[in-house]
Structure 1
Amino acid sequence: MFEEEEKKLEQRKKSIDKVEVPRDKLHFAVQSGFEKAKKERALKRSKIRKRSTWSIAIAAILLISFVTSISVSPVFASKVASIPGLEKIVSLIKQDRGLTAAVENDFYQPINLSQEKNGITVTLDGIIADKKGMVIFYSVHSKEVDLSTLEIKYLELSSGMTPRYRFGLGNNYGLNLTPREGTNFYSGVKTIEKVAFSKDPSWGMGIKNGDKIEHFNIPFTYKLMDVENKNIVVDKEVTIEGQRFKIKQLIVNPIRTTIKLEEDPNNSKKLLSRAFDELKLVDEMGRTWSTTPGNSYKVLPKGNLWEVPLMESFYFHDPKELTLTFGKVAAMEKSEAYVLIDTETKEFLEQPSKSIFSNLQVKDNRVSFIVQVDKEYDKNLVHFNKFIDANEKEFYIETGGLTPVVNNYVRGSMITVPEVGQKFEFELPDKSFTTYTNPIRLDLEFYPSWIEEDVQIEIK
């Protein structure tokens, strides 16, 4: 009666012997299936007991299939088997050596708290937290709503004791939910650095369902992992196409490895947003740690010190050698890193020599022009956060649909115009509330311009 089931279990048992995974838990699961099947065969074969035995056999097979399907270390596979809910986020962790090592070293804290609204359930699955930041794992589930029709509008970490960290995705940049294949679950991860929260924060999300945004808020508690950074002092200079930089140090913690570097204030070029997207560290074994695209930033807006976080941390590794390479660095001449517009004469007064801007229009108290870009990569990046008038008065341009925390802002948008390019548009201030003085300047924070030179820095 159970010969077929036993054959399947025996085949799975043989296959597991070829994979380096924790044998104690897997062997126990398989052996339980065998023992239960034998007992059932010796007893009366009622339908209820047949179904019970078959369920156990399936459970054993599924457990083996799940663990053997993830190409990870035995320690990680053991953690997956022992931590409730961790299997939902394996796909988010297993490609990141730093997060995988953090889980193996018991830095992952399961939370498993949920909130349900109108058929949509948001779950805070777990976190990894140290003194420098927090990695938050969350999921969205629904039996009533097609997840692919939903859109995340914002993510938020807040606390009654400290400021709110909201990450708006806006009307034009909402994140569409793509469920895991064969499931009605969506899993996501958000890394938040340089946060100092009390032990009772809340995780929030805004999910757009049709014309309505559902707001979720999940209070939780956690334990702060008290570990010390590993600081590697470098203090070496490098020159790329005449632009000078100093690599100051590496800050290594369980969540993130960050490279601190300084640009020479006398450099002729301005470093742009995503300046160091191609920066890499390579160790003696050829293992590579790359930057997190778009996450390099100045420590102070008008300073010369930059912090460049890497995609993964090598906190739990011990590289004997490390070499730093730069690839392309986003930069352009400081004298050209802006657009100057006269809204009265309706003309560009100044713009880059290799300009991608055209068709300027000023109409109905709105300014618009075409941005010609060739790549999808550039379409989401060529934008302006603010404009400055002739008296250095700043007006922030809000393109995400959220209400800014500042009063002097105007609404703007970036839309695709077929066969033309991107159309950037923004309001001019309402004269009944405030005034501006011509001409107005829009500083370029990103532009398709790079410098590149084959340079390497030996770190250790």
Structure 2
Amino acid sequence: MTRNEEYQALLQELEATPAALDTTVERALRRRRRDRRLRFFGVPAGSLAACFIAFVLLVNLFPPFARACGGVPVLRALAQAVAWSPSLSAAVENDYVQPMGQSQTVNGITATIEYVIVDQKQVHIFFTLEGTGYESLSAELPEFTPRQRCSVLSSDFRQPPGTLLRFTLDYQDNDVPEGFTMAFGVTGETETEPENAPAAPSRSILDEPEREEPDILASFAFDLAFDPTYTAQGELVPVNSTFQLDGQTLMVKEVEVYPTHVRVNVEGAADNTAWLKDLDFYLENEDGERFDSISNGVSATGDPDTPAMKSFRLESPYFADSTHLTLHITGATWLDKNRERVRADLKNGTVEWLPEGVTVQAIQHRENGWMLTFDVTAPADIHKQVFASRYYDEAGTKYDMDNFGWSVLDDGHGEAYLPLRDYDQDTVLLELNWSHTTQAEVPVTIPIK
């Protein structure tokens, strides 16, 4: 059975309207007519896209419909897949999906590449793993032939069989190719644990991380080809607008608008006293529709030669048919150039300087190194990791933390845990990710188009 035939069969299962739906469809269609942003004209009635659009509309507007569809695995997975990203939801609503329908079975495990959403700079690959007798299945990070120069993000590990998983490929200085071969291994956990299995020994964050490789249950390789109609989509808008914020000079050089995201490329002046680490900003069109920062995925990329971030991501207005777009900048996060590293006196439990809202909670010497714990409170942003995973001794030798920790507590505080494993010196230079934040008294507004 082809993928289109499978979807049509699933649609037939829904023809007998469940009681939970009742008049939901009729009400949804009436509401759709009142909202001009929810368009699905121009879609052939028999196409797979019509199924996508109608379903996404009903799932987002009517929870009873989503609950009633809970017994149809493919549709339930589709609802979950589009819910986390406004940009990808809009792409699906606008028929911007390439069905793949490639399936392979190895050692009783079936991997199916369901569909992809691609543009000039990103590839989102949605796939499922199925296997009888497994409580969960996981896909290892893929390898590509030819090798791809991009960042690769994976969906959560240890998901129940049939969960719609994804790989996201983000290209910075090069474009998405016409295709490649993607290979990955699959690991899994069975539904029953062995009887009398020994309990795992307790471990400390200072212990050497366990590096036992999981058993690969099956390996897959898929040849993926992308429709050039999709991979060519994107618009580069020159801006070259300079502005001041917190005494620093910045220039928005250009804005890249793609179906899956927006990139705002920013450059700081050479004589600035701080590196730009993050921006608080959003886009707005002439209808007041707002497009915020990416919250799930790549949110920014940096300059390889400095600590500065240079390209920031927003949700995309690509499908909003916007005539005008305005960028609103409301704040920023900085790293002072004289605060890139701060010295800690481990023996006396002090640090020479810390960002406002960050305090030393404990510095403890243990048998296998030092454990540093910091408390993070307002006005510091507790969701921004304060310290990098690198630290240095007085001679400039670099060390790496394998398993440093970060948590947000119920009382609103954050805690950062820095293990300096096998470090035997009394002082250390910690590398900061940021030093302070700024909120603009009056937002900076920059016309984009």
Residue matched to 1:50: none
Gaps of 5+ in 2: 1-15, 34-39, 62-72, 194-199, 201-212
Look up the match of 2:430: 442
Find the counterpart in structure 2 of residue 162 from structure 1: 147
User: Cα offset for 1:426?
Assistant: 2.3
Q: 1:452 aligns with which of 429, 437, 440?
A: 440
Of 128-137 and 109-118, the range deviating more from structure 2: 109-118
1:12-48 CA deviation, whole Å, 9 max, x = no partner? 896687466789859xxxxxxxxxxxxxxxxxxxxxx
Alignment of 1:233-312 (within 5 A): 233-272=238-277, 275-276=278-279, 278-293=280-295, 295-302=299-306, 306-311=310-315
Number of residue equivalences: 376
Name the residue aligned to 1:200: 180
Amino acid of the residue matched to residue 327 of structure 2? L
Contact 2:369 2:423 in 1 (8 A): no
Give 1:378's match in structure 2, choosing from 371, 378, 382: 382
What's the offset of the Cα at 1:235? 1.1
Residue correspondence of structure 1 range 19-34 to structure 2 within 5 A: 25=45
| 2:363 matches 1:363 | no
Q: 2:179 aligns to what SS in structure 1?
A: coil
Once the two structures are superposed, what CA deviation does each residue of 1:96-123 show, in whole Å capped at 9, x if it has no partner? 5543554466542222345668987654
CA displacement at 1:232 relative to structure 2: 1.1
- Residue 69 of structure 1 aligns to a residue in which SS? helix
Give the match's secondary structure for 1:89: helix
How far apart are residue 248 of structure 1 and its match? 0.9
2:207 maps to 1:230: no
Report if aligned partners of 2:303, 2:310 keep a CA contact under 8 Å in 1: yes
Residues in 1 aligned to 2:405 and 2:102: alpha-carbon distance in whole angstroms:
37
Q: CA deviation at 1:387?
A: 0.9
How many Å separate the matches in 2 of 1:337 and 1:296? 19
Structure 1: give runs of 5+ residues left out of the alignment.
27-61, 73-83, 400-411, 432-436
Cα displacement (A) at 1:367: 1.8
Aligned-partner residue type, residue 258 of structure 1: R
Moved more, 103-112 or 351-360: 103-112
Matched letter for residue 161 of structure 1: P
- Secondary structure of 2:396's aligned partner: coil
Tell me, yes or no, if structure 1 residue 426 matches structure 2 residue 419. yes
1:136 positional shift: 1.9
Q: Deviations over 1:194-220 (max 9, x none)?
A: 165673321537656379846465422
CA distance in 2 between counterparts of 1:251 and 1:64 reads: 26
Judging by fraction of residues, say which structure has more helix.
1
> Aligned partner of 1:296: which letter?
A
Corresponding letter in the other structure for 1:245: L
**Matched residues in 1 for 2:243 and 2:24: separation?**
55
Aligned with residue 322 of structure 2, among 319, 331, 334: 319
Q: Quick one: structure 1 residues 217 and 299, their matched pair in 2 at CA, closer, same or farther if it must change by over 3 Å?
A: farther
Higher mean displacement: 390-399 or 421-430: 421-430
TM-score by length of 1: 0.65
The reply on whether 1:109 has 2:98 as its aligned counterpart is yes
- CA-CA distance at 1:250 after TM superposition: 0.6
8 Å Cα contact 1:385-1:396 kept in structure 2: yes
Distance 1:318 1:446, change over 3 A: same
Which structure: larger Rg? 1
- 1:187 maps to what in 2? 164
The match for 1:124 among 108, 113, 123 is: 113
CA distance in 1, matches of 2:129, 2:187: 10
* Residues in 1 aligned to 2:381 and 2:187: alpha-carbon distance in whole angstroms: 25
1:130 maps to a residue whose letter is: D
Q: Which residue of 2 aligns with 1:92?
A: 81
Alignment partners' CA distance in 1, 2:408 and 2:289:
39
1:290 shift after superposition: 1.4
Q: 1:187 to 1:128 in 2, by over 3 A?
A: same
Is the CA contact 1:280–1:326 (under 8 Å) kept in the aligned structure 2?
yes
Moved more, 231-240 or 385-394: 385-394
Q: Percent identity?
A: 18
Match runs of 1:398-413 below 5 Å: 398-399=402-403, 412-413=404-405
Letter in 2 for 1:69: L
